[in-house]
Structure 1
């Protein structure tokens, strides 16, 4: 069992640890945990396989944005999932991952984290986590989904990239103390299993209800950039696909999918 594993275990070049129902592969450095998890999925890795790394040289977020975290100061992990869902339901997993992350942050630190649609986790208005879901399809069937999480755990201001020091934070900065990555990981896995099982049983209505409780987007004025268009309106709801439903200034409603837009507000 891994209950007595300390944070020092994460500094080894390569290691396996076990949490209930999980086999976790830990690397010192990879290009991206999503890339490694995808390779394992293609080789037949079972659902629940987890890849972690102290550092990733090519971490990325939505719309191919770069995700940077100094070695050993964050929780960088990806999970292999093999859900029995339709292709259009993959974005629901992103919403579910956001729910789990916000819940874990509260349970481990006491900080209230809010979800900015679709996949940013904010504390006091600053980003602490990004989530990226990537699926593989075969004959319009979901073969597997890789869920990637990058969570800033113990970064200090000097370790944040200069261009995002005003918009990013870490659990350490928000609490004033170091946070055990191992304890965070264990709590995260417990919460994930609970919510994922409920999602498998109850589907999209469950995700929607849980996400709405923790979101900070609905009811607010938003500015959406799609291609060359800039659209303003009020975020009103999320759709069955996980898209954002916006009431535009002319009163009409429009659904936007995460891969198509950049959201401000």
Structure 2
């Protein structure tokens, strides 16, 4: 059943609440997934916005917001993220990192954990990671991560981890401008895909990721998933798209920065949009 309501974060804009997702109530999903709370919606503006407001109201770490559709889903730099009804996994988690955690690592850690979850359907080929937050399958984007922090007087109060995964789309389900660059798990593998199974595998994989301490190195399998390593890339500003740096990607620094080999030497990049010269986005 779908009902109307005004959930946290919708700024008075009605969202459609959902009684069940993939046949399960929120209470059942909370028990199955081992999280403190699950909020289900048929349609919202953005799951990240709702999770952020819940975090501000004191919701526990691990609280999950899941929607069938996002009307205003977004990626890094405010770019829109196509989130059609019933075709993907659109969710956000509230996370409070331990004191001293390297926040710059978080999008990469989540991306690696998510890629490992999707490997279950993609073996023997691993799902690739494009720094800092994109998931790549067969050279096309299959998902993305958006981590957003809420700060107060210079102190991090909580993080919201948004995850968008294309699961069931066919080519024509994507907007025309991204059809050549996007794919879904079903389109890439030719397998039947259960959204419930993907969500369960994902949340199981993310539990140890979210418990990681700042002293822990990035997972060793990043090197095998890094679609940028050895490629010539341009780093462009998120606001004005001007080129900040050009070089060959040489891996990732311990704090999560992208390392470039440029004519001037090694450069560490911590922000910006990456474009592969002659390649993915």
- TM-score normalised by the shorter chain: which range applies? 0.7 to 0.9
TM-score, normalising length from structure 1? 0.87
CA displacement 1:106-161 (0-9 Å, x = unmatched): 12443521001111100010000011000112233221000000000000111011
Q: CA deviation at 1:84?
A: 1.5
- The 2-side partners of 1:204 and 1:212 are apart by 19
Aligned counterpart for 1:78 among listed residues 92, 103, 107: 92
SS in 1 for 2:233: strand
Tell me which residue corresponds to 1:143.
157
For the aligned residue pairs, the C-alpha RMSD in angstroms reads 2.2
Tell me which residue corresponds to 2:255.
241
CA displacement 1:167-193 (0-9 Å, x = unmatched): 000001012133101011111111101
Structure 1 pair 158/20, CA: closer, same or farther in 2 (3 Å)? Answer: closer
SS in 2 for 1:209: coil
Tell me which residue corresponds to 1:102.
115
- The 1-side partners of 2:33 and 2:46 are apart by 25
Q: CA deviation at 1:92?
A: 0.9
Tell me which residue corresponds to 1:252.
265
Aligned counterpart for 1:10 among listed residues 21, 45, 52: 21
Q: CA deviation at 1:96?
A: 0.8
Q: CA deviation at 1:103?
A: 0.3
Q: CA deviation at 1:236?
A: 1.3
Contact 2:20 2:40 in 1 (8 A): no
- The 1-side partners of 2:39 and 2:223 are apart by 33
Contact 1:90 1:135 in 2 (8 A): no
Q: CA deviation at 1:262?
A: 3.8
TM-score, normalising length from structure 2? 0.82
Unaligned runs of 5+ in 2: 1-18
SS in 2 for 1:207: coil
SS in 2 for 1:154: coil
Does 1:166 pair with 2:180?
A: yes
Matched ranges for 1:17-166 at <5 A: 17-18=29-30, 19-22=32-35, 23-86=37-100, 89-110=102-123, 112-166=126-180
SS in 1 for 2:206: helix
Aligned counterpart for 2:192 among listed residues 172, 178, 181: 178
- The 2-side partners of 1:41 and 1:213 are apart by 35
- The 2-side partners of 1:112 and 1:128 are apart by 13
Aligned counterpart for 1:195 among listed residues 209, 217, 231: 209
- The 2-side partners of 1:261 and 1:106 are apart by 26
- The 1-side partners of 2:152 and 2:235 are apart by 32
- The 2-side partners of 1:20 and 1:176 are apart by 27
Tell me the number of residue pairs that the alignment of Structure 1 and Structure 2 aligns.
252
Q: CA deviation at 1:229?
A: 3.0
- The 1-side partners of 2:190 and 2:220 are apart by 32
